Amino acid sequence: MFKILEAEVLADKTYRMVVEAPNVAHSCEPGQFLIVRCEEESERIALTICDYDREKNTVTIVFQTIGESSYKIAEKKAGDFFEDVVGPLGNPAEYVTEPIEEVRKRHYLLVGGGLGTAPVYPQAKWLKEHGVDVDVIIGTKNKDTLIMEREMIEAVGEDHVFVTTDDGSYKRHGMVTAVIEDLVKNEGRKYDKCVSIGPMIMMKFCVKLTKELGIPTIVSMNPIMVDGTGMCGACRLIVGDEVKFACVDGPEFDGFLVDFDQAMKRMKLYKTEEGRRLLEYQEGNTHKGNCGNK
Amino acid sequence: MSIEVDMMKKVPVSEQDPKVRATNFDEVCLGYTEEEAMAEATRCLQCKNPKCVEGCPVSINIPGFIEKIKEGDHKAAYEIIGEASSLPAVCGRVCPQETQCEGVCIRGIKGEAVSIGKLERFAADWAGKQGIKPVKKADSKGQKVAVVGAGPSGLTCAGDLAKMGYEVTIFEALHKAGGVLVYGIPEFRLPKDEVVAKEIENVRSLGVEIKTDYIIGRSETIDELIDREGFSAVYIASGAGLPMFMHIPGEQALGVYSANEYLTRANLMKAYREDYDTPINTGKKTVIVGGGNVAMDAARTALRLGSDVTVVYRRSEKELPARAEEVHHAKEEGIKFALLTNPVEILEDEEGFVKGIKVIKMELGEPDESGRRRPVEVKGSEFEIECDTVIMSLGTTPNPLISSTTKGLDTNKRKCIITDEDTGATSREGVYAGGDCATGAATVILAMGAGRKAAKSIDLYLSGK
């Protein structure tokens, strides 16, 4: 059992929790993820590691409610327990294992879209702490869906964080790609490496642009997973015409090589079933009269 | 005894009716009653030079335990089995006896072999019902051994080492101990609560600690176990790994699963039960590609979830690698076999969902390096099978997590950990390996045999230290 120490709502349908998980906290690195199983009957759900504290043995997760299982996770409060928290899973970001002098020669551009802002945060923090130049773009629907702006500014400095909203309700207006173009073409910033994490459609267009701009780009894939340890093969992707598994070969891949259209297609698989279960779960919740009908 | 025994034939064992069991997940084979077991035990010739023991990968004293069943001393029978096997209730159910002990049984020359597997199962189930646990004999040696993976190989090695007096900790990546016994083999062949959980409890009762949700290679490396945690030796039994695919068009279509995914959803995550949340999409028509035990398990699971099922296999019935009993059961339950047939393409609809599979007829040519006749395509014989789900059951390649994070641990070109066949020793001192991670996908009993061997070698290694 794994104790939840903090639980808060960050934005609509977006939650942040701090969980006691020594096995994950003492060895996780930016780029990796974990799996939560809420109760004995629950699914194994892959979630983003947003922060970690090796001293306190805690990890911070940020997630959105999509289906029944994430909804159940969101219902947990501080003081409650998860049945299982397992990780770290996946490979650390490549710069973690590269010689740091090499990494310091590069200018990094990190792009977080929506919930993708959460896994970008530990990367930004790590790079900054290791003396690497880093700019961060946070893209979100509107002012209300924005998360982690303050933390990001604290991590890398106000001049290095660029927030953009789809509807222009806060700071810059437009998609993250518009900001990348702006920074590179109009503001003369130079980047040697881009890390883009967010909805697949965002990563797809981000990569299209960075390819034109000649900035090698890493993307983080989050396909459907079951065990997350390299057994089931559900998370297979086509990368450079090869079958790769996000859980053990990734989750980060060379964005220029990922077949995003295939990956997006595979995400559809459980939508109907998941939606049906969520409805059943929510309706079931409101049906409390013991009339005998289920 | 009221049962009349035909010395040429096995005492028949009761099974659930095929029509009934095709709709439920309860165990197919009901096992011998005490009376039936004692009757079957009389068929054993008590050979002076028992071939069956040689045929058993863990060398159980087979005539010895059968003699005890004949005498009605089932506790003694269980103890004799326990000297060699930590998981008798499992082995009695899933071992390929027809190619091992029963395959060389002298009784089998003229008639049917003694039903050794069913007798083993009887003794183990009987002991389980009586609450009899294995006994730890040796005093503590005060040395710590780490075992990676709580599957059949890891559990066996851990059980043996604990009996010798070592302090053993098993690290298991999943949330449940058991490995393939819980994620792979279905409930109807190996009940999880009554059989697997009990056997694991028995291993725990020997003093073995099992840490679940603990990934070696991520949370901690093999080197950290030795240098930081003070383990004197490590046994790696991390099991089979990533599923293989055919690399044919359409394999990324929606509705194509690996057998590993399909079975993990159904068994480990209990997707077949209403009270569990993990979804499983079972269509109306399922095609299984492959002919091994895993393919049979996937086929019979899909059938029980309400699908019409066809197994597509490229060789003929004789070459089917699955246990004879599984093929027989599958057929009884109504599973169809398209033999000498091989997929060439998976067909998708406009939405990307599977709508069929294009296959080609095969014929057997010259024997290949495995000694089996190589299947060759019959030109122009393609045809389509309509289906909405395809389950690929083509084997696995070892999980790279440990080999890629352990310096100096040699692997072969198939990414299997290289071990000494007799001892299980790897290229790293004090580090042993066995089971599927060393051999590639094989059977439960071979994995257990490797676990036993490694336990002996580790004992020798540590005693000399």
> Given this chain, do its domains B14-130 and B144-241+397-462 carry the same CATH topology?
no
- pLDDT the model gives residue B464: 81
Q: Give the closest of B245, B264, B401 to A232, CB-based.
A: B264
Q: Is the domain covering B144-241+397-462 a CATH 3.40.50.2300 domain?
A: no
- pLDDT the model gives residue B399: 85
Nearest CA of chain A to the CA of B348: how many Å?
A: 12
3-class DSSP assignment, residue A51: strand
Report the 10 Å Cβ neighbour count for B128.
Answer: 19
| Amino acid at position B187, single letter | E
pLDDT tens-digit readout, A121-156: 999 999 999 999 999 999 999 999 999 999 999 999
B352 contacts A231? CB cut-off 8 A: no
Q: Edge-to-edge strands of the sheet including A44-53?
A: A81-82, A2-11, A14-20, A58-64, A44-53, A33-37, A84-89
- pLDDT the model gives residue B344: 97
B309 DSSP β-pair partners: B286
Nearest CA of chain A to the CA of B283: how many Å?
A: 13
- Which residue, B103, B114, B110, B119, is CA-closest to B44? B114
Question: Taking CA atoms, what residue in B is nearest to A37?
Answer: B175
- Which residue, A146, A150, A203, A152, is CA-closest to A14? A146
A272 pLDDT tier (thresholds 50, 70, 90): low
Thinking of the domain B14-130, which architecture would CATH place it in?
Orthogonal Bundle (1.10)
Residues 257-286 of A with CB under 8 A from B: 262, 265-266, 268-270, 273-274, 277
Res A291 pLDDT > 70: no
Higher pLDDT, B363 or B57: B363
- Contacts (Cβ under 8 Å, ≥6 apart) of A119: A30, A31, A33, A48, A49, A50, A112, A197, A220
- pLDDT the model gives residue A293: 35
- Inter-helix orientation angle B116-130/B34-41, to 10°: 140
- pLDDT the model gives residue A280: 55
Reported pTM: 0.88
Q: Which phi and psi (to 5°) does residue B311 adopt?
A: -95, 125
Q: What is the DSSP string of A93-112?
A: PHHHHS-HHHHHTSEEEEEE
B401 contacts A87? CB cut-off 8 A: no
- pLDDT the model gives residue A264: 85
Q: Report whether B434 contacts B450 (CB < 8 A).
A: yes
A42 contacts B218? CB cut-off 8 A: no
Nearest CA of chain A to the CA of B248: how many Å?
A: 11
A274 pLDDT tier (thresholds 50, 70, 90): low
Q: What is the mean pLDDT of residues A219-226?
A: 88
| Amino acid at position A222, single letter | N
Res B124 pLDDT > 60: yes
Residues of chain A contacting B257 with CB distance shorter than 8 Å: 233-234
pLDDT tens-digit readout, A87-105: 999 999 999 999 999 999 9
Res B281 pLDDT > 80: no
Residues of chain A contacting B351 with CB distance shorter than 8 Å: 268
Q: Give the closest of A229, A233, A274 to B261, CB-based.
A: A233
Thinking of the domain B245-394, which architecture would CATH place it in?
3-Layer(bba) Sandwich (3.50)
- Contacts (Cβ under 8 Å, ≥6 apart) of B193: none
- Rounded to whole angstroms, the Cα distance separating B164 from B208 reads 12
Q: And the tokens for B394?
A: 């083509």
Using the structure block, give the residue that is written with the tokens 């060699």.
B84
pLDDT tens-digit readout, A161-175: 999 999 989 998 989
A47 DSSP β-pair partners: A34
Q: Give the closest of B255, B281, B401 to A230, CB-based.
A: B401
Report the 10 Å Cβ neighbour count for B367.
Answer: 10
Note whether A227 contacts B: Cβ–Cβ < 8 A: yes
Res B351 pLDDT > 50: yes
CA distances from B241 to A91, B120, B217, B253 (A): 17, 30, 14, 22
Q: Give the closest of A37, A265, A268 to B175, CB-based.
A: A37
Res A276 pLDDT > 60: no
Nearest CA of chain A to the CA of B406: how many Å?
A: 15
A27 contacts B219? CB cut-off 8 A: yes
Q: What is the mean pLDDT of residues B9-28?
A: 92
- pLDDT the model gives residue B87: 87
- pLDDT the model gives residue B230: 93
B183 contacts A233? CB cut-off 8 A: no
Predicted ipTM > 0.90: no
pLDDT tens-digit readout, B355-368: 999 999 999 988 88
Residues of chain B contacting A20 with CB distance shorter than 8 Å: none
Share of chain B above pLDDT 90, in %: 72
pLDDT tens-digit readout, A52-92: 999 999 999 999 988 778 889 999 999 999 999 999 999 99
- pLDDT the model gives residue B185: 92
pLDDT tens-digit readout, B192-220: 998 999 999 999 999 999 999 999 999 99
Q: Give the closest of B219, B260, B279 to A277, CB-based.
A: B279
- Rounded to whole angstroms, the Cα distance separating A103 from B55 reads 58
Question: Taking CA atoms, what residue in A is nearest to B392?
Answer: A233
Q: Report whether A278 contacts A233 (CB < 8 A).
A: no
A277 pLDDT tier (thresholds 50, 70, 90): low
B264 contacts A226? CB cut-off 8 A: yes
Higher pLDDT, A272 or B422: B422
Res B174 pLDDT > 90: yes
- pLDDT the model gives residue B96: 84
- pLDDT the model gives residue A289: 37
Q: What is the mean pLDDT of residues B38-56?
A: 94
pLDDT tens-digit readout, B390-412: 999 999 888 888 998 999 999 99
pLDDT tens-digit readout, B304-343: 999 999 999 999 998 899 988 899 999 999 999 999 999 9
- pLDDT the model gives residue B280: 81
Q: What is the mean pLDDT of residues B249-253?
A: 91
Domain ranges (residues) in chain B: 14-130, 144-241+397-462, 245-394
How buried is B205 (Cβ within 10 angstroms: 0-12 exposed, 13-18 middle, 19+ buried)?
middle
- Chain B positions with Cβ closer than 8 Å to A: 173-175, 183, 212-215, 218-220, 239-243, 245, 247, 251-252, 254-255, 257-258, 260-261, 264-265, 268-270, 275-279, 281, 351-352, 399-401
Res B282 pLDDT > 80: no
A278 pLDDT tier (thresholds 50, 70, 90): low
Nearest CA of chain A to the CA of B379: how many Å?
A: 28
Question: Taking CA atoms, what residue in A is nearest to B397?
Answer: A231
Test mutation, A2, A36, A91, A231, chain B, max B CBs within 10 A: A231
- pLDDT the model gives residue A270: 53
Test mutation, A23, A37, A232, A273, chain B, max B CBs within 10 A: A232
Note whether A250 contacts B: Cβ–Cβ < 8 A: no
Share of chain B above pLDDT 70, in %: 99
- pLDDT the model gives residue A294: 32
